[in-house]
Amino acid sequence: MKNIPNIFTLLNLFFGCLAIVFILQNGIISATDEEGAPLLVVPEKIWLASLFIGLAAVIDFLDGFVARLLKAGSEMGKQLDSLSDLVSFGVAPGMIVYQFLRLSVAREEGGLDASFLWLLPAFIIPCAAAWRLARFNLDTSQSYSFKGMPVPTVGMFFASLPLIYWNVNEPWVQNLLLNKWFLLGLVALFSWLMVSSIPLMALKFKDFSVKNNMPKYLLALISLAAIFILQWLAVPAIVLAYVLISLLFKSKTA
């Protein structure tokens, strides 16, 4: 019984590995448009990586729930959880950014011959995630609040980018996601958020009273509204709301 939560945790890792497989198997394809001009695209099947990262997030929630339900929490489970999170929400999202940077750079004049160095910042994400997870494991004060952004939150944000790219038919959105400076800015921002010490709320409940959980209930309402109104753009909006609400209710997230 005590290893059941660990099996869930390893399933998180398994889904993270599958996500990386679909990211790597779907590289840039060179084609031509109707006028014969060169066209560079990333095959749409990369969205499967987003699906498996999403499944990993569900499992990441369930393993903690199962551990509490069975009273089977352990130091082994804690370490396995962090190692799995590093792959599913650090390495896999870093690879998604890597592919988008490849496409962004390749679209520029002479981009196919551009330096490989333009792509390397994508791997700052897993490095920052590793730092965040190691610090979390050593800090016993982060049960009902976090210091810095949780790695799964960052992973879900970057996992949403392929879904947004292929499902939001707005030129400004697609152009933004293919702007290398925007992508590099996202890498810098979220890497900093992970290693920072800004107080962010943990979505755990000591009780279910409105008084003690106002920030969580407010985030839930905003999330539902964002999903209904923004659809595919909901994930970035929810992540932004999460940060702003955490800062607004700092005293309640500590």
Helix ranges (DSSP H) in 36-115: 47-70, 75-86, 92-106
pLDDT at 226: 95
pLDDT mean for each 10 residues of the chain (254 residues): 82 95 72 57 75 94 77 80 95 95 82 78 97 89 80 96 91 92 97 94 75 86 95 94 90 56
Domain regions of the chain by residue span? 4-197, 203-254
Spatial contact of 95 and 20, defined as CB atoms under 8 Å apart? yes
pLDDT at 36: 59
Buried b (16+ CB within 10 A) or exposed e, 124-133: bbbebbbbbb
pLDDT at 92: 97
**Is 1.20.120 the CATH number for 4-197?**
yes
